[in-house]
Amino acid sequence: MQSQLRKDLLDAFTKADGAYLSGQHIAELIGCSRTAVWKHIGELRKEGFELEAVRRKGYRIVKTPEKITADELRLGLTTKFIGKNLHYEETVDSTQKIAHRLAYDDAPEGTVIIAEEQVSGRGRMARRWHSPKYTGIWMSIILRPNISLPKAPQLTLLTAVAIVQAIEELTGLLPEIKWPNDILIKGKKVTGILTELEAESDRINSIIIGIGINVNQTKEDFPSDLEQIATSLLLEKGETVSRADLIKGIFTNLEKLYLLYLEEGFLPIKLLWESYAISIGKKITARTLTQSIIGKALGITDDGVLMIEDDHGKIHHVYSADIEL
Amino acid sequence: MQSQLRKDLLDAFTKADGAYLSGQHIAELIGCSRTAVWKHIGELRKEGFELEAVRRKGYRIVKTPEKITADELRLGLTTKFIGKNLHYEETVDSTQKIAHRLAYDDAPEGTVIIAEEQVSGRGRMARRWHSPKYTGIWMSIILRPNISLPKAPQLTLLTAVAIVQAIEELTGLLPEIKWPNDILIKGKKVTGILTELEAESDRINSIIIGIGINVNQTKEDFPSDLEQIATSLLLEKGETVSRADLIKGIFTNLEKLYLLYLEEGFLPIKLLWESYAISIGKKITARTLTQSIIGKALGITDDGVLMIEDDHGKIHHVYSADIEL
């Protein structure tokens, strides 16, 4: 959409002040065909505008996109380092990719990259992550803990706790954690966490935590293959949730837990994590790259490794897997 | 230097056919001041030309820059994957940085980035690596082994063996390895290796091996602070060494050792490594981030970790350190 046409179209809606504008009237006002009007209305919807269309009356804007601004995120943020160096982007390939580049270029610890939309967002194992515009939280956080490489997955668990706490505080909803990196509400996925790292030989240079949260998606926003397995905070709560407030809540909780972790190690995090974990004590199937293990999830080790006891009483240590409950 | 002036200058030297050209004569030929001629001669030297300057006679070009071409590298290369996807650059920040980006963007295993010059080449622990134009080999190689994170440092040792073998085969020189990542000739550093990795939680996505080799530097090419501790193959051999041939030798040896490693594990590599290692059996000082350990270097473990026995008979495992002999 050319910017002048968009400006004219938005001006027309502004002047209408909530009244309906017919397609024909809009076409005359901005000087284009009715087909073009229909196309431009579609563009606005894609950008987060909610438009009501009523037969014989026309269109009106019901809601403008709830776009986050970097200023809104900075206002009232009380963290010491997480989110202090904030990169806010409209559209990106993936926030993880940008974060990797910034991390390699010595971006300070706590640097955050937030995008309104990812065109090729990635989940674990290079799976596609659906991240449409203005509806969710798609962000990456750079941490630089002085820990050994095998401890890196602990940061996934720590981040999950921070997000569960932030969602609970803001919405009253009670999310649960599915090992290792999913957060569910009533069995449907609301959040995924992807922990990546850059290291020099045996020394961690940066840990890059990717977070995807479905916040204000409606049922129609989910592709049909995700409808049964994914949900949003809006759908569970029945009202829109402020993404800016949730982001700030995550920063605050994450920084608190991270400092605790650096000070006291993984144990206090582990106890919190277990209190939110859905799979512990249940019979699960864990699919690793090489095998499927069926058994009872006993818990996680002090290193964050999942322990499963199979029917023969043998205990398996699972470092990475997909879990089915 | 403007390209027309450079062309005129090179034309003048071409016509002189090895004879001396006085500064005054050059100035007249290309239509500029003698000061400008002096500056342009300096530029040519920076770009790898060797110019002889004789009082009352003038300048002549003794040697053109030995610039590598990607075609030259591809010709006669018999590897299956290392070097098959080759990026050749004139000047880069650092080949590691480019390799990180390519690796994150799913570049195939064996992808190599070679640059004639790095303006901010890095060594271990973010130390500066001096990498002037047309004289050395500055390159990064992307590998994607299916190994656990703590094994990554083994690739440093494996690469060191491949480079020592390639230097020995091409020049007859006998380089030695100083744990973990330096290759020395007669006690002076000729090669550094920097192994970095990208991982998703506990799964390696890519290992990026940075290699810097001093090949055809003269004494004058080393900054004064490196003169006593660094050398080049030219200085040790007494003649220039073909960088293209050495690169191809490294690709061939690296691929052979890497396939052996994937097939049989670290043990065969360890035995080769020990046969080239300078520090084993000697009294050394190992400076880690937190302490200095003085003792006898016993060897490396099956995981590539250095073992040092101190004066009290206590054995220390050193994962990362600077070693003094």
The CATH number assigned to the domain holding A23 equals 1.10.10.10
CB contacts < 8 A, A to B, total 74
Which domain does A31 fall in, by range? 3-63
B39 and B174 co-located in one domain: no
Kindly identify which residue of chain B lies nearest to residue A105, measuring between CA atoms: B97
Interface predicted TM-score of the whole assembly (ipTM), two decimals: 0.76
Residues with Cβ within 8 Å of residue B200, at least 6 apart in sequence:
A124, A125, A194, A195, A196
pLDDT in tens, B58-72: 998 887 667 777 777
| Distance separating alpha carbons of residues A167 and A148, to the nearest angstrom | 30
Partner-chain contact B124 A200, CB within 8 Å: yes
Determine the distance in angstroms separating the CA of B213 from the nearest CA of chain A, rounded to an integer.
19
Q: Do A153 and B202 touch (CB under 8 A)?
A: yes
- Interface probe with B: pick from A125, A201, A317, A319, most Cβ of B within 10 Å: A201
Chain A residues with CB within 8 Å of chain B CB: 97, 100-101, 104-105, 124-125, 149-150, 152-153, 156, 180, 194-203, 205, 319-320
By the 8 A CB rule, do B313 and A196 touch?
A: no
| Whether residues B130 and B87 fall in one domain | yes
**Between chains, do B200 and A198 touch, taking CB under 8 Å as contact?**
no
Same domain, B50 and B97: no
Q: Give contacts of B196 with chain A, Cβ < 8 Å.
A: 198-201, 205
Among A104, A125, A202, the residue with its CB nearest the CB of B320 is A202
CATH (domain of A231): 3.30.930.10
Disruptive mutation site among B128, B200, B288, B289 for chain A (greatest number of A CBs within 10 Å):
B200
- Both B87 and B213 in a single domain? yes
Residue numbers in A near B101 (CB within 8 A): 100-101
State whether A144 and A74 are in the same domain: yes
Here the tokens at position A2 are: 């050319």
Burial code (b: 16+ CB inside 10 Å, e: under 16) for A83-108 equals bbebbbbeebebbbbbbbebbbeebe
DSSP B2-49: -HHHHHHHHHHHHHHTTS-B-HHHHHHHHT--HHHHHHHHHHHHHTT-
How far does the CA of residue A198 sit from the closest CA of chain B (Å)? 5
> Residue length, chain B?
325
H or E element that contains A114: strand A112-118
Same domain, A23 and A91: no
The reply to whether residue B195 touches residue A200, judged by beta carbons under 8 angstroms, is yes
**How many separate helices (H) and strands (E) can be counted in chain B?**
9, 14
Q: Do A149 and B149 touch (CB under 8 A)?
A: yes
pLDDT along chain B (325 residues), means of 10: 70 83 89 87 80 89 74 82 93 94 95 92 68 88 93 94 98 94 94 94 92 92 85 94 94 98 96 91 88 92 89 91 85
Cβ–Cβ below 8 Å for A201 and B100: no
Alpha carbon of A202: minimum distance to chain B alpha carbons (Å): 7
Distance in Å, alpha carbon of A95 to nearest chain B alpha carbon? 12
pLDDT in tens, A291-301: 899 999 999 98
* A37 and A183 fall within a common domain: no
Same domain, A191 and A258: yes
- Is B199 close to A149, i.e. CB distance below 8 A? yes
What is the residue-level pLDDT of chain A in tens, covering all 325 positions?
A: 456 787 788 778 878 888 899 988 999 988 888 888 888 888 888 777 788 889 889 998 887 667 777 777 877 788 999 999 999 998 999 999 999 999 999 999 999 999 998 888 776 665 677 777 888 999 999 999 999 888 999 999 999 999 999 999 999 999 999 988 899 999 999 999 999 999 998 789 999 999 999 999 988 888 888 888 999 999 999 998 999 999 999 999 999 999 999 999 999 999 999 999 988 889 999 998 788 999 999 999 888 889 999 999 999 998 888 888 8
- The tally of domains found in chain B comes to 3
Burial B150-171 (b: 16+ CB within 10 A, else e): bbbbbbbbbbbbbbbbbbeebb
A153, closest residue in chain B (CA to CA): B201
Q: What is the pLDDT of residues A131-188, one digit of tens each?
A: 778 889 999 999 999 998 889 999 999 999 999 999 999 999 999 999 888 999 999 9
Same domain, A192 and A89: yes
> In terms of domains, do B77 and B224 share one?
yes
Q: How far is the alpha carbon of B105 from chain A, nearest alpha carbon, in Å?
A: 9
CATH number of domain containing A290? 2.30.30.100
State whether B168 and B83 are in the same domain.
yes
DSSP letter, residue B257: H
Dihedral sign from CA coordinates of B74, B79, B85, B87: negative
Closest CA to B63 of B192, B293, B218: B218
What residues contact B93, with CB distance under 8 A and at least 6 apart? B118, B119, B120
Which chain A residue has the Cα nearest residue B203?
A320
Same domain, A188 and A303: no
- Residue B100: CB atoms within 10 A of its CB come to 24
Q: Residue A198 is nearest to which of B198, B203, B320, comparing CB atoms?
A: B198
Residue pLDDT, tens place only, B144-169: 999 988 899 999 999 999 999 999 99
